[in-house]
Structure 1
Amino acid sequence: MSVPYKPAGYTDAAPYLIVDGAARTIDFLVQVFGAERLRRFDDPEGGVRHAEVRVGDTVVMLADGGEGYPPQPAHVHVYVPDVDDAYRRALEAGGESVRPPERGDDPDRRGGVRDPGGTTWWISTQME
């Protein structure tokens, strides 16, 4: 029997975030998006060497920055059933507003929030 090339339920591509405070980012994702914690491997100093969470149908991988791998700003787009509710939860979870939800030139209502680890999350609900 051969081993599958990826874990069951994983997509072929996944964002990988190098952040300042991966544990805080994981808590943020759980509170805002209902993320499911999948795997976490801490380093001997208590930092996050590697972690995985599922946000909706997508696995997001992340780790604390360190020597040779500094935290990097990133942008991730997430569709949610209610953008206004997710935006509110993001602010309550310690996020900083980048842009309140509003309707643009496309069919989405979208807002942006920067989490405590430095990632900007563009939260959107398709309106038509």
Structure 2
Amino acid sequence: MTAWKPPEHNAVSPYLLVVSVRDMLAFLAASFGAVERYRSEQPDGSIKHAEVRIDDSIVMMGERPAGSAATCCSTHVYVPDVDAAYQRALAAGAASIAEPRDQPYGDRGAGVRDAEGNLWWIGTHLSR
């Protein structure tokens, strides 16, 4: 185990600042099968910090201070079936920004925008 990062964390992880961590946790679970692994709640019930695992990666998030400007993130997620993940994301409230299609670089990819404005690029690498 390394002392400079928590166990099971990669060196780089997205950190989302959102209005509702609860809503983001639900979106990530429905869209990508994210599993919550940590949550720190404030006395008022807001969530100061939460972490989920999506496959081999951690996504961290916290509720942004009231009145602060939105900070949007663009994140790529590899999944076993891009078409299914895209449909799950739409069903969970995302808006389509790119329907699934085969890309010239060897992936089948799609894109969605979540309710917070974050972009999620979804890909499945095609065997060639």
Shared fold (TM-score greater than 0.5)?
A: yes
1:50 matched to which residue of 2?
Answer: 49
Counterpart contact for 1:18–1:69, Cα < 8 Å: no
2:84 matched to which residue of 1?
Answer: 85
Letter in 2 for 1:6: K
Write out aligned runs for 1:1-128 (5 A).
4-66=3-65, 70-127=69-126, 128=128
Distance of 1:110 and 1:78 partners within structure 2: 10
Distance of 1:3 and 1:20 partners within structure 2: 33
| Cα deviation, residue 43, structure 1 | 2.2
Partner deviation per Cα, 1:45-94 (whole Å, 9 max, x = no partner) = 32221110011101110011115964311100000010000000001111
Counterpart contact for 1:96–1:115, Cα < 8 Å: yes
Distance of 2:67 and 2:92 partners within structure 1: 29
Segment drifting more, 79-88 vs 44-53: 44-53
For structure 1, the residue ranges without an aligned partner over 5 or more in a row are none
| Cα deviation, residue 33, structure 1 | 1.0
Letter in 2 for 1:27: A
For structure 2, the residue ranges without an aligned partner over 5 or more in a row are none
The alignment's C-alpha RMSD in Å is: 1.9
Query: What secondary structure sits across from 1:4 in the alignment?
Result: coil
CA 1:3–1:73 in 2, change beyond 3 Å: closer, same or farther? closer
Letter in 2 for 1:91: L
| Cα deviation, residue 22, structure 1 | 1.6
Segment drifting more, 38-47 vs 61-70: 61-70
- Equivalent pairs counted in the alignment come to 127
CA 1:3–1:98 in 2, change beyond 3 Å: closer, same or farther? closer
